[in-house]
Amino acid sequence: MPAFFPLPHVEDCHKRIRAYICGVCLIDTRKAKLVWLHHHYPTYFVLKDDLPLSWYLSVASTTDTETIYNVSAGGAPYDEKTRGAVILYLTGPLQGLALIKFSAMDAWFEEDEEIFIHPKDPYKRIDILQSSRHVRIEVNGIEIANTRAPRLLFETGLPVRTYIPKTDCRMDLWVPSMTQTGCPYKGMANYYNVVLSSGETFRDIVWVYPNTTAEASAIRGFVAFFDEKVDVWVDGEKQSPPQTGYN
């Protein structure tokens, strides 16, 4: 969102929002709010009247400003994930609104489309463009990628990321990593380490989205490298590393 909006910033959401836990639809509302508690991304809040107060919530604590609830659904007792998962604000700019912690739910839906990690920010977007730039990538002087058919991903407020066909990479130097990250705009990413013949290992410097969201389908199966951790040449010119490691 634009940084000049004061926080917290509240906007109406015109989508039907549902949240599920243990097979139970805990929230089903057409009156959700997008709330920015910080400038990075929003979260969903719901009206007090849309909370199933007498069914699946039990009061964990209450003060003059907020009531915190544990969630128990589907016959399962609350656990670390669902303890304190709902906060109802009693005063201030969020009065009458409740935060349901995104990670406490098993699944979230906007209309009938499942979403992941956190709600998308309507002030951000991604564009993926086919390019003919000549991109070369090296690690310690060893070329690990060389392509004239990259796909460039432009994401609001973040560095441009270069996605490269696997066939233009030294896949023989890759070793799968256990690392996985998620992005609400792109999907879930798997990582690889690069291991040189010397045995030197560069951890988690390659990632790929084997499955993507619809808007990011153009990078499905392509790979990206952390430009911060490798040497990159574009059309023969060595690039300076970007200032952030976000993928």
pLDDT for 70: 92
Residue at token pair 């969630």: 71
Copy the structure tokens of residue 211: 């499955």
What is the residue-wise DSSP string for 110-173? Answer: ETTEEE-SSPPPTT--EEEEE----EEEEETTEEEEEES--EEEEETTS--EEEE-GGGB-GGG
Residue at token pair 């389908």: 217
pTM: 0.84
**What span, in angstroms and rounded, lies between the C-alpha atoms of 104 and 84?**
9
pLDDT for 1: 58
pLDDT for 82: 85
Could you give the C-alpha distances from 141 to 79, 124, 136, 138, 145, in angstroms and in order?
50, 36, 11, 6, 12
Q: CA nearest 174: which of 223, 216, 213, 130? A: 223
pLDDT for 5: 83
Q: What is the DSSP letter of 94?
A: G
Domains and CATH numbers, the chain: 9-115 (2.170.150.40), 126-238 (2.170.150.40)
Gyration radius of the chain over CA positions: 22
What is the pLDDT tens value at each position of the chain, 247 positions in all?
A: 566 789 999 999 999 999 999 888 999 999 999 999 998 899 999 999 999 977 889 899 999 999 999 998 766 566 778 889 999 999 999 999 999 999 999 999 999 999 999 999 999 999 999 999 999 999 999 999 999 999 999 999 889 999 999 999 999 999 999 999 999 999 999 999 999 999 999 999 999 999 999 899 999 989 999 999 999 999 999 998 886 655 6
**What span, in angstroms and rounded, lies between the C-alpha atoms of 37 and 23?**
29
Please count the other Cβ atoms lying within 10 Å of the Cβ belonging to residue 26. Answer: 26
pLDDT for 36: 96
